Protein backbone atom coordinates (compact mmCIF):
# COMPACT_ATOMS: atom_id res chain seq x y z
CA UNK A 1 0.00 0.00 0.00
CA UNK A 2 2.85 2.35 -0.72
CA UNK A 3 1.69 3.69 -4.10
CA UNK A 4 0.37 7.23 -4.32
CA UNK A 5 -3.17 7.45 -3.01
CA UNK A 6 -6.17 9.45 -4.18
CA UNK A 7 -8.04 11.79 -1.84
CA UNK A 8 -10.83 9.20 -1.52
CA UNK A 9 -8.33 6.55 -0.56
CA UNK A 10 -6.66 8.95 1.84
CA UNK A 11 -9.97 9.54 3.64
CA UNK A 12 -10.52 5.79 3.93
CA UNK A 13 -6.95 5.15 5.08
CA UNK A 14 -7.32 7.83 7.74
CA UNK A 15 -10.29 5.94 9.13
CA UNK A 16 -8.53 2.59 8.80
CA UNK A 17 -5.63 4.01 10.75
CA UNK A 18 -7.95 4.06 13.78
CA UNK A 19 -8.40 0.30 13.58
CA UNK A 20 -5.89 -1.44 15.82
CA UNK A 21 -4.64 -4.97 16.15
CA UNK A 22 -6.29 -5.47 19.53
CA UNK A 23 -3.47 -7.59 20.90
CA UNK A 24 -0.75 -5.12 19.92
CA UNK A 25 -2.64 -1.81 20.24
CA UNK A 26 -1.13 -0.63 16.96
CA UNK A 27 -2.76 0.60 13.78
CA UNK A 28 -3.40 -2.04 11.11
CA UNK A 29 -2.22 0.49 8.51
CA UNK A 30 1.10 0.92 10.28
CA UNK A 31 1.36 -2.87 10.68
CA UNK A 32 0.92 -3.28 6.93
CA UNK A 33 -2.11 -5.55 7.22
CA UNK A 34 -4.04 -3.73 4.45
CA UNK A 35 -3.45 -5.78 1.34
CA UNK A 36 -5.74 -4.10 -1.16
CA UNK A 37 -7.98 -1.05 -1.15
CA UNK A 38 -10.47 0.01 -3.84
CA UNK A 39 -12.44 3.17 -3.37
CA UNK A 40 -15.34 4.50 -5.46
CA UNK A 41 -18.90 4.87 -4.24
CA UNK A 42 -18.33 1.53 -2.57
CA UNK A 43 -15.19 0.53 -0.74
CA UNK A 44 -13.39 -2.79 -0.84
CA UNK A 45 -10.78 -3.51 1.84
CA UNK A 46 -8.71 -6.68 1.74
CA UNK A 47 -6.48 -7.47 4.72
CA UNK A 48 -4.06 -10.18 5.81
CA UNK A 49 -2.52 -11.11 9.16
CA UNK A 50 0.93 -12.31 10.25
CA UNK A 51 -0.16 -15.94 10.47
CA UNK A 52 -3.03 -18.02 9.22
CA UNK A 53 -3.52 -19.09 12.85
CA UNK A 54 -4.16 -15.68 14.37
CA UNK A 55 -7.02 -16.05 16.79
CA UNK A 56 -10.24 -15.90 14.75
CA UNK A 57 -11.69 -13.68 17.48
CA UNK A 58 -8.94 -11.10 16.93
CA UNK A 59 -9.34 -11.30 13.16
CA UNK A 60 -13.06 -10.84 13.63
CA UNK A 61 -12.58 -7.70 15.74
CA UNK A 62 -10.37 -6.14 13.09
CA UNK A 63 -12.75 -7.05 10.28
CA UNK A 64 -15.76 -5.54 12.04
CA UNK A 65 -13.79 -2.45 13.03
CA UNK A 66 -12.73 -1.97 9.42
CA UNK A 67 -16.32 -2.13 8.27
CA UNK A 68 -17.54 0.27 10.93
CA UNK A 69 -14.76 2.83 10.47
CA UNK A 70 -15.05 2.92 6.69
CA UNK A 71 -18.81 3.34 6.92
CA UNK A 72 -18.11 6.64 8.70
CA UNK A 73 -16.47 8.11 5.59
CA UNK A 74 -18.92 10.36 3.74
CA UNK A 75 -20.15 9.25 0.29
CA UNK A 76 -19.52 5.59 1.02
CA UNK A 77 -22.57 3.49 0.14
CA UNK A 78 -21.24 0.06 0.74
CA UNK A 79 -18.22 -1.52 2.39
CA UNK A 80 -16.91 -4.97 1.61
CA UNK A 81 -14.22 -6.45 3.83
CA UNK A 82 -12.20 -9.46 2.81
CA UNK A 83 -9.74 -11.39 4.96
CA UNK A 84 -7.22 -13.51 3.03
CA UNK A 85 -4.61 -16.14 3.92
CA UNK A 86 -6.29 -17.15 7.16
CA UNK A 87 -7.62 -20.55 8.08
CA UNK A 88 -11.04 -19.01 8.77
CA UNK A 89 -10.88 -16.41 5.98
CA UNK A 90 -14.09 -17.57 4.32
CA UNK A 91 -16.21 -17.71 7.50
CA UNK A 92 -14.94 -14.37 8.76
CA UNK A 93 -15.36 -12.60 5.43
CA UNK A 94 -18.88 -13.90 4.96
CA UNK A 95 -19.94 -13.39 8.57
CA UNK A 96 -18.68 -9.83 8.83
CA UNK A 97 -20.18 -8.71 5.53
CA UNK A 98 -23.49 -10.28 6.46
CA UNK A 99 -23.23 -8.57 9.86
CA UNK A 100 -23.78 -11.78 11.76
CA UNK A 101 -22.57 -12.27 15.34
CA UNK A 102 -19.29 -14.11 15.96
CA UNK A 103 -20.85 -16.94 17.95
CA UNK A 104 -23.34 -17.60 15.14
CA UNK A 105 -20.46 -18.05 12.68
CA UNK A 106 -18.24 -20.11 14.98
CA UNK A 107 -20.43 -22.73 16.50
CA UNK A 108 -17.76 -23.99 18.87
CA UNK A 109 -17.24 -20.51 20.30
CA UNK A 110 -18.62 -20.43 23.80
CA UNK A 111 -19.23 -16.68 23.72
CA UNK A 112 -18.98 -13.57 21.57
CA UNK A 113 -15.83 -11.55 21.14
CA UNK A 114 -16.74 -8.74 23.53
CA UNK A 115 -15.15 -10.23 26.66
CA UNK A 116 -11.88 -10.84 24.82
CA UNK A 117 -12.00 -7.33 23.40
CA UNK A 118 -12.59 -5.78 26.82
CA UNK A 119 -9.64 -7.72 28.25
CA UNK A 120 -7.32 -6.62 25.44
CA UNK A 121 -8.53 -3.01 25.68
CA UNK A 122 -7.83 -3.03 29.37
CA UNK A 123 -4.27 -4.23 28.75
CA UNK A 124 -3.81 -1.60 26.07
CA UNK A 125 -4.94 1.02 28.58
CA UNK A 126 -2.40 -0.24 31.13
CA UNK A 127 0.44 -0.16 28.61
CA UNK A 128 -0.48 3.39 27.66
CA UNK A 129 -0.69 4.32 31.34
CA UNK A 130 2.91 3.18 31.75
CA UNK A 131 4.09 5.58 29.04
CA UNK A 132 1.91 8.42 30.32
CA UNK A 133 3.08 8.06 33.91
CA UNK A 134 6.72 7.90 32.80
CA UNK A 135 6.16 11.11 30.86
CA UNK A 136 4.94 12.77 34.05
CA UNK A 137 7.80 11.38 36.13
CA UNK A 138 10.21 12.74 33.53
CA UNK A 139 8.45 16.11 33.75
CA UNK A 140 9.24 16.18 37.46
CA UNK A 141 5.98 15.11 39.10
CA UNK A 142 6.09 13.05 42.27
CA UNK A 143 4.18 9.73 42.55
CA UNK A 144 1.89 11.26 45.19
CA UNK A 145 0.98 14.05 42.77
CA UNK A 146 0.48 11.63 39.88
CA UNK A 147 -1.95 9.34 41.69
CA UNK A 148 -4.01 12.34 42.82
CA UNK A 149 -4.53 13.79 39.32
CA UNK A 150 -8.03 13.87 37.82
CA UNK A 151 -9.09 14.32 34.21
CA UNK A 152 -9.83 17.99 35.07
CA UNK A 153 -6.19 18.60 35.94
CA UNK A 154 -4.91 17.98 32.46
CA UNK A 155 -5.39 20.12 29.34
CA UNK A 156 -4.13 19.38 25.85
CA UNK A 157 -2.64 22.01 23.59
CA UNK A 158 -2.57 20.32 20.18
CA UNK A 159 -0.89 23.25 18.44
CA UNK A 160 1.99 23.35 20.90
CA UNK A 161 2.01 19.54 21.11
CA UNK A 162 2.09 19.64 24.84
CA UNK A 163 -0.10 18.87 27.81
CA UNK A 164 -0.56 21.24 30.73
CA UNK A 165 -0.94 19.57 34.11
CA UNK A 166 -2.24 21.53 37.10
CA UNK A 167 -0.38 20.08 40.02
CA UNK A 168 -1.36 22.49 42.77
CA UNK A 169 -2.89 25.95 43.10
CA UNK A 170 -1.33 28.03 40.42
CA UNK A 171 1.39 25.50 39.55
CA UNK A 172 1.32 24.06 36.05
CA UNK A 173 3.78 21.62 34.56
CA UNK A 174 4.12 20.90 30.84
CA UNK A 175 4.78 17.52 29.28
CA UNK A 176 4.83 15.98 25.76
CA UNK A 177 1.31 15.61 24.40
CA UNK A 178 1.24 12.23 22.66
CA UNK A 179 1.67 9.69 25.51
CA UNK A 180 -0.87 11.53 27.67
CA UNK A 181 -3.44 12.13 24.93
CA UNK A 182 -3.19 8.51 23.78
CA UNK A 183 -3.68 7.33 27.33
CA UNK A 184 -6.74 9.51 27.90
CA UNK A 185 -8.27 8.30 24.64
CA UNK A 186 -7.95 4.63 25.66
CA UNK A 187 -9.01 5.32 29.24
CA UNK A 188 -12.19 6.95 27.95
CA UNK A 189 -12.86 4.06 25.58
CA UNK A 190 -12.48 1.55 28.38
CA UNK A 191 -14.75 3.50 30.70
CA UNK A 192 -12.26 4.37 33.41
CA UNK A 193 -12.57 8.12 32.71
CA UNK A 194 -16.27 8.65 32.26
CA UNK A 195 -16.51 11.73 34.51
CA UNK A 196 -14.15 14.75 34.48
CA UNK A 197 -13.44 14.57 38.21
CA UNK A 198 -12.40 10.90 38.10
CA UNK A 199 -8.84 9.91 38.86
CA UNK A 200 -6.70 10.02 35.74
CA UNK A 201 -4.74 6.84 36.56
CA UNK A 202 -6.18 3.71 38.14
CA UNK A 203 -5.18 0.13 38.87
CA UNK A 204 -5.79 -2.80 36.53
CA UNK A 205 -9.15 -3.22 38.26
CA UNK A 206 -10.07 0.43 37.78
CA UNK A 207 -9.50 1.46 41.41
CA UNK A 208 -7.73 4.64 42.57
CA UNK A 209 -4.04 4.11 43.32
CA UNK A 210 -2.91 4.52 46.92
CA UNK A 211 0.42 6.41 47.04
CA UNK A 212 2.16 3.44 48.68
CA UNK A 213 0.92 1.18 45.87
CA UNK A 214 2.32 3.44 43.16
CA UNK A 215 5.43 1.36 42.40
CA UNK A 216 3.59 -1.91 42.26
CA UNK A 217 0.90 -0.60 39.95
CA UNK A 218 3.55 1.05 37.78
CA UNK A 219 5.44 -2.25 37.52
CA UNK A 220 2.27 -4.00 36.54
CA UNK A 221 1.58 -1.51 33.76
CA UNK A 222 5.18 -1.98 32.62
CA UNK A 223 4.58 -5.73 32.32
CA UNK A 224 1.54 -5.03 30.12
CA UNK A 225 3.75 -2.83 27.93
CA UNK A 226 6.51 -5.46 27.74
CA UNK A 227 4.03 -8.17 26.86
CA UNK A 228 2.46 -6.11 24.11
CA UNK A 229 5.82 -5.13 22.64
CA UNK A 230 7.01 -8.75 22.83
CA UNK A 231 3.96 -10.05 21.04
CA UNK A 232 4.38 -7.25 18.51
CA UNK A 233 7.87 -8.57 17.79
CA UNK A 234 6.53 -12.11 17.29
CA UNK A 235 3.84 -10.90 14.89
CA UNK A 236 6.31 -8.72 13.05
CA UNK A 237 8.78 -11.60 12.63
CA UNK A 238 6.03 -13.94 11.42
CA UNK A 239 4.71 -11.29 9.05
CA UNK A 240 8.17 -10.90 7.55
CA UNK A 241 8.67 -14.66 7.34
CA UNK A 242 5.40 -14.98 5.49
CA UNK A 243 5.29 -11.95 3.22
CA UNK A 244 8.86 -10.66 3.16
CA UNK A 245 10.19 -7.51 4.77
CA UNK A 246 7.85 -4.56 4.51
CA UNK A 247 9.23 -1.29 3.22
Beta-bridged to residue 173, according to DSSP, are 165
DSSP strands (E only) in 70-170:
78-84, 154-157, 162-168
* 46 forms part of the interface with other proteins (CB under 8 A): no
Binding segment (CB under 8 A) for other proteins, from list 32-40, 49-57, 148-156, 173-181: 49-57
Reduced to 3 states (helix: H, G, I; strand: E, B; else coil), residue 88 is: coil
Question: 3-state DSSP: the chain helix, strand, coil percent, rounded to 5?
Answer: 50, 20, 35
Q: Which helix (H) or strand (E) holds 116?
A: helix 114-138
DSSP strands (E only) in the chain:
20-21, 26-27, 34-39, 42-48, 78-84, 154-157, 162-168, 171-176
| End-to-end Cα distance, the chain | 10
Binder of other proteins out of 38, 210, 237, 246 (CB under 8 A): 237
Binder of other proteins out of 10, 38, 78, 242 (CB under 8 A): 242
# of chain residues touching other proteins (CB under 8 A): 33
Rounded to a whole number of angstroms, the minimum distance from the CB of residue 228 to other proteins is 8
Binder of other proteins out of 2, 7, 110, 197 (CB under 8 A): 110
Annotate each residue in 24-43 with x if it binds other proteins (CB under 8 A) or - if it does not, as one string: --------------------
Annotate each residue in 70-99 with x if it binds other proteins (CB under 8 A) or - if it does not, as one string: -----------------xx-----------
d(CA 216, CA 148) in angstroms, rounded, equals 16
> Which positions lie near other proteins, rule CB under 8 A?
23, 51-58, 87-88, 108, 110, 116, 123, 126, 219-220, 222-224, 226-227, 229-231, 233-234, 237-238, 240-242
Amino acid sequence: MSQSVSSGERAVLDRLDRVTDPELDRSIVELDYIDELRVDSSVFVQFKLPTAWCSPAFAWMMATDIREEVQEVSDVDRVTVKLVDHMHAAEITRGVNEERPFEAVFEDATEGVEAARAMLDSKARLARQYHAVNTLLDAGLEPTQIVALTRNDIAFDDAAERAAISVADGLTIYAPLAPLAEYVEKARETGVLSAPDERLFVTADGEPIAPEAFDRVHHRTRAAKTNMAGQGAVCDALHNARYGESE
